[in-house]
């Protein structure tokens, strides 16, 4: 049986908040809560693929310590812009 759209969003939000590194929870969780319901199928697929990555790889990509893979460049830019907006409001 295939996962419903609503179940997929719920699963992805939970996985965004329950990573392995707290810093990644705080980056991906708020973004997922705010944005996933607006995503089309292709954007959801990309974010779902990102969630499959190890936090030990993700964090250096987000921090700029290592270059992120090309398939994530646009998504990382969106997440960074979102997080900068959150920081300016705080």
pLDDT (tens digit per residue) in 53-81: 999 999 999 889 999 999 999 999 999 99
Q: Residue 85's pLDDT is what?
A: 82
Would you say residue 9 lies in a domain?
Answer: no
Number of domains in the chain: 1
Using only C-alpha atoms, what is the Rg of the chain?
Answer: 13
Decide if 40 is inside a domain: yes
Average pLDDT, integer, range 6-25: 95
Residue 13 lies in a domain: no
Per the domain annotation, does 50 fall within a domain?
yes
| Cα-based angle 14, 79, 52 (whole degrees, multiple of 5) | 45
- Amino acid 87: pLDDT: 66
Residue 52 lies in a domain: yes
Q: How confident is the model at residue 84 (pLDDT cuts 50, 70, 90)?
A: confident
Look at residue 17 and tell me if it is in a domain: no
pLDDT tens-digit series, residues 23-37: 999 999 999 999 999
The 10 Å Cβ neighbour count of residue 39 is: 16
Residue range(s) defining the domain that contains residue 55: 22-88
The alpha carbon of residue 14 and the mean position of all alpha carbons in its chain are separated, in whole angstroms, by: 11
């Amino acid at each position: 049986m295939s996962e419903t759209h609503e179940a997929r969003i719920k699963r992805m939000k939970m996985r965004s908040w329950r990573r392995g590194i707290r810093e990644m929870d705080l980056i991906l969780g708020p973004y997922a809560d705010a944005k996933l319901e607006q995503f089309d199928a292709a954007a959801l697929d990309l974010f779902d693929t990102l969630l499959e990555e190890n936090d030990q790889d993700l964090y250096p990509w987000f921090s700029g310590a290592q270059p992120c893979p090309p398939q994530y460049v646009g998504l990382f830019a969106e997440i960074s812009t979102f997080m900068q907006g959150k920081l300016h409001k705080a």
